Amino acid sequence: MSERLGTIAGLRTKRLPGWAVPALAAGGLAVAWLIVYLPGTGGAVLTGVCAALLFLAALVGVSVAVEGRRAATDRAATALIYAAFLLALAPLAAVAYTLLAKGATRMSGDFLTHSMRNIGGRDAGGGAYHAILGTLEQAGIATLITVPLGIAGAIYIVEYGRGALATAIRFFVDVMTGIPSIVAGLFILAFWVQLVSPLFTADHQPEFSGFAAALALSVLMLPTVVRSSEEMLRLVPATLREGAYALGVAKWKTVLRIVLPTAAPGIVTGVMLAIARACGETAPVLLVAGASASINSNPFAGQQQALSIYIYQQAKDSSIYAPPRAWAAALTLVVLVLALTVAAKLLARRSKLAR
Amino acid sequence: MAKRIEAVNVSAYYGSFRAIDGITMTVEPKAVTALIGPSGCGKSTFLRSINRMHEVIPGARLEGRLLIDGQNIYDRDIDVTAVRRMIGMVFQRPNPFPTMSIYDNVVAGLRLGGLRKKALLDEACEKALVSANLWEEVRNRLKRPGAGLSGGQQQRLCIARAIAVEPQVVLMDEPCSALDPISTLAIEDLITQLKNQYTIVIVTHNMQQAARVSDRTAFFSIDSTGEPGRLIEYDDTAKIFTNPSVKRTEDYITGRFG
């Protein structure tokens, strides 16, 4: 072996000192500033890109000279991975910054507590209270429908389903995952609004409602919840189930008290992803709940607004007061989803024992 | 209390593969019976068939009769959960329930069986932990997670969990194979204590362990890979390890056969 690889001369090797990497980075930035930014060749972005490239080249060059090829490859790969990480983070940071910067200007207690009723194109006031209410009710009802159904479906597939039926259900859940949201909306429009809702109204006319929107959102959320719960249930080790069976615990109780609590944190994450997606859906809600400018707290009758539709309407409105409202509503929506996610995570962690 | 187990012509299958063939043997009450033999000889399968854990695996089935005090546990009208409550099991790797505290782990069987009274649960928890030689180590941290214990402690926790439901038989599937020698010693001491109350069947790869803890030893073997496992010899442990009647047993025990 030693003949092929060469003999080992010693265990010590030359390494760049700790200050070398920051010094090279600072040098790259300085050079880029001198040759790109000062003469006016490019702006801040081009300067940054040039600085990064200069830094990379200098780092590899110095490393090859001092440490040798293997260490230089390591340094280059490390630098590239950090660069990829920053690049991936950039859109997220940009979205968060834009939302905060543009949304905060119009954000106020007034915005959160007022609707758009009687607000014309020349009126500066108005708010998104009706839309927040609608989104919360629609997503809430959809969650109430989807979570028990979805988790029960996943339990069937993982714990009980054998043979053709389970395979068929899995297949159709996969198919459902691919349904475009507008198709889900059309389905609920044709089925619930046109066929079923006339049975409940006094004049037997079809009626838009927040509940119809919740149904459409359920169609979209269900496959996500089933699939993520299924994956999480499969991750629960079989030895835990056997441990419970060996104590004389019935199967349904084992699933309910041992398997589900063990999988709970992962299931919560899947449910939150589904809720976040549902909160942002626009087309199906517009199709079956309409879009009202007034407050309608009853999800079972009459048109209801949602934040996503509100953003869409305000963004395309010709009034100069509309775009700030759209940004404020977008900020509201993101904060709402973020708060729900954090709350759910905390709840799931509390139920699990902390080490 | 402790039960006699009689296996009559028991064959177990995984799908079409026959894992054990025609096992007939009697396990005496209030004694330790060790099952030894090379890997794949069906001793774990036989052990799991005693409390009907074999059938948990999809496609697994069993032929023959297994009598607990004369009653066939494979009869159609037998309640599987009742069988498993009567015949507890400790697994190869410790498997405490990760979402539960030490206390909750120990009383899991009782609580999921419907017992609610806190005083009774407290009493059962202490009794089981004392029996499992774990009480002194965990009495001040019963509310801490069971998964935070060391491997040996976790295995004793699982033993406490198994005996908290007061079974009459305890099955152990290589309970010490993942443990260090000190934890192994603790569990062997525990087995010796437990046999005053329970019928114990233990599968082990460690022949010294079988010789140390068991009263009776059954030697299983296979003719070749793909063949079903068979019971070769079953006798008093002292006889098996000093003067076995069958040549294959002697070869295995003296290390002349894998």
Q: Average pLDDT of B214-237?
A: 91
Final residue in a domain of this structure, among A51, A71, A104: A104
Q: Is the dihedral of CA A67, A68, A70, A74 positive or negative?
A: positive
Chain CA centroid to CA A347, Å:
18
Are residues A89 and A160 both part of a single domain? no
- Say if residues B209 and B216 touch (Cβ distance below 8 Å): no
Count of domains in chain A?
A: 2
Task: Determine whether the interchain pair A245/B53 forms a contact, defined as Cβ–Cβ distance below 8 Å.
Answer: yes
Which residues of A are less than 8 Å from B148 in CB distance? Answer: 355
Distance CA A151, CA A143 (A): 12
Q: Average pLDDT of B204-232?
A: 91
Task: Determine whether the interchain pair B97/A258 forms a contact, defined as Cβ–Cβ distance below 8 Å.
Answer: yes
Q: Average pLDDT of B14-30?
A: 92
Final residue in a domain of this structure, among A70, A104, A138: A104
B244: left (phi over 0), alpha (psi -120 to 50) or beta: beta
Are residues A76 and A137 both part of a single domain? no
- Say if residues B160 and B96 touch (Cβ distance below 8 Å): no
Distance CA A138, CA A213 (A): 6
Nearest CA in chain A to B80: A248
Domain annotation covers residue A5: no
Task: Determine whether the interchain pair A257/B112 forms a contact, defined as Cβ–Cβ distance below 8 Å.
Answer: yes
Are residues A234 and A158 both part of a single domain? yes
Which residues of B are less than 8 Å from A246 in CB distance? Answer: 51, 53, 84, 88-89, 91, 162
Are residues A88 and A121 both part of a single domain? no
Q: Average pLDDT of A4-17?
A: 80
Task: Determine whether the interchain pair B109/A247 forms a contact, defined as Cβ–Cβ distance below 8 Å.
Answer: yes
Least confident piece of the model among A9-13, A24-28, A84-88, B14-18: A9-13
Query: Which pLDDT score is estimated for A351?
Result: 56
User: Is B98 an 8 Å CB contact of chain A?
Assistant: yes
Task: Determine whether the interchain pair A237/B58 forms a contact, defined as Cβ–Cβ distance below 8 Å.
Answer: no
User: Is B78 an 8 Å CB contact of chain A?
Assistant: no
Query: Which pLDDT score is estimated for A354?
Result: 41
> What are the C-alpha distances in Å from A31 to residues A26, A28, B95?
9, 5, 60
Under 8 Å CB-to-CB from A248, ≥6 apart: which residues?
Answer: B81, B82, B83, B84, B85, B86, B109, B113, B165
> What's the token pair of residue A135?
């989104």
Are residues A92 and A139 both part of a single domain? no
Which residue is it, tokens 């409550």? B85
Q: Is B97 a residue whose pLDDT tops 90?
A: yes
Distance CA B137, CA B154 (A): 12
Domain annotation covers residue B139: no
Domain annotation covers residue A76: yes
Task: Determine whether the interchain pair B109/A262 forms a contact, defined as Cβ–Cβ distance below 8 Å.
Answer: no
Alpha helices in chain A, H assignment, sequence order: 2-5, 20-32, 44-67, 69-104, 109-113, 129-155, 164-177, 181-188, 197-200, 210-235, 238-245, 251-254, 260-280, 283-289, 307-316, 322-351
Are residues A214 and A329 both part of a single domain? yes
Q: Is the dihedral of CA A330, A331, A334, A336 positive or negative?
A: negative
Q: Is A121 a residue whose pLDDT tops 90?
A: no
Query: Which pLDDT score is estimated for A353?
Result: 46
Distance CA B182, CA B185 (A): 5
Q: Average pLDDT of A332-347?
A: 90
Domain annotation covers residue B153: no
Task: Determine whether the interchain pair A240/B98 forms a contact, defined as Cβ–Cβ distance below 8 Å.
Answer: yes
Interface probe, candidates B90, B103, B110, B112, chain A, greatest A C-beta count within 10 A: B112
Domain annotation covers residue B116: no
**Percent of all residues in chain A with a pLDDT value above 90, rounded to a whole number:** 70
Domain annotation covers residue B134: no
**Percent of all residues in chain B with a pLDDT value above 70, rounded to a whole number:** 99
Q: Is A355 a residue whose pLDDT tops 50?
A: no
Distance CA B165, CA B161 (A): 7
Q: How confident is the model at residue B3 (pLDDT cuts 50, 70, 90)?
A: confident
Q: Name the pairing type of β-strands B71-72 and B60-68.
A: antiparallel
Task: Determine whether the interchain pair A246/B101 forms a contact, defined as Cβ–Cβ distance below 8 Å.
Answer: no
Domain annotation covers residue A288: yes
Give the count of Cβ contacts less than 8 A between chain A and B: 79
Q: Is A179 a residue whose pLDDT tops 60?
A: yes
Are residues A65 and A155 both part of a single domain? no
- Say if residues B6 and B64 touch (Cβ distance below 8 Å): no
Domain annotation covers residue B232: yes
Indicate the DSSP class of residue A351: H
Query: Which pLDDT score is estimated for A9?
Result: 74
Q: Is A163 a residue whose pLDDT tops 90?
A: no
Distance CA B79, CA B51 (A): 11
Q: Is A333 a residue whose pLDDT tops 90?
A: yes
User: Is A256 an 8 Å CB contact of chain B?
Assistant: no
Range of the domain at A302: 112-351
Final residue in a domain of this structure, among A62, A87, A104: A104
Of the candidates B242, B231, B253, which has an alpha carbon nearest to the alpha carbon of residue B27?
Answer: B231
Are residues A29 and A119 both part of a single domain? no
Nearest CA in chain A to B82: A248
Of the candidates B46, B42, B38, B36, which has an alpha carbon nearest to the alpha carbon of residue B244?
Answer: B36
Are residues A174 and A230 both part of a single domain? yes
User: Is A75 an 8 Å CB contact of chain B?
Assistant: no
Distance CA A80, CA A77 (A): 5
Helix (H) or strand (E) holding B184: helix B181-194
Indicate the DSSP class of residue B87: E
Q: Is the dihedral of CA A113, A117, A118, A122 positive or negative?
A: positive
Distance CA B50, CA B5 (A): 8
Which residue is it, tokens 């054998």? A162
Are residues A301 and A330 both part of a single domain? yes
Interface probe, candidates A157, A247, A253, A268, chain B, greatest B C-beta count within 10 A: A247
Distance CA B72, CA B66 (A): 5
What average pLDDT does chain B have? 91
Domain annotation covers residue A1: no
What's the pTM? 0.83
> What are the C-alpha distances in Å from A251 to residues B99, B108, B235?
18, 14, 37
Of the candidates A56, A44, A11, A48, which has an alpha carbon nearest to the alpha carbon of residue A29?
Answer: A48
- Say if residues A188 and A281 touch (Cβ distance below 8 Å): no
Q: Is A3 a residue whose pLDDT tops 80?
A: no
Are residues A165 and A35 both part of a single domain? no
Query: Which pLDDT score is estimated for B7?
Result: 94
Range of the domain at B78: 5-95+167-253
> What's the token pair of residue B43?
């001793």
The alpha-carbon gap from A158 to the nearest alpha carbon of chain B, in Å, equals 12
The alpha-carbon gap from A232 to the nearest alpha carbon of chain B, in Å, equals 15
Query: Which pLDDT score is estimated for B186?
Result: 85
10 Å Cβ neighbour count for A200?
Answer: 12
Count of domains in chain B?
A: 1
The alpha-carbon gap from B245 to the nearest alpha carbon of chain A, in Å, equals 35
> What's the token pair of residue A26?
């600072």
Are residues A49 and A140 both part of a single domain? no
Amino acid letter for position A318: S
Indicate the DSSP class of residue B73: T
3-state class of B13 per DSSP? strand
CA end-to-end span of chain A: 47
pLDDT tens column, B108-145? 999 998 899 999 999 999 999 998 889 999 999 999 99
pLDDT tens column, B136-190? 999 999 999 998 899 889 999 999 999 999 999 999 999 998 888 888 888 899 8
- Say if residues B52 and B84 touch (Cβ distance below 8 Å): yes
Q: Give me the CATH number covering residue B220.
A: 3.40.50.300
> What Rg value do the Cα atoms of chain B yield, rounded?
18
Interface probe, candidates B68, B99, B161, B171, chain A, greatest A C-beta count within 10 A: B99
Q: How confident is the model at residue B239 (pLDDT cuts 50, 70, 90)?
A: very high
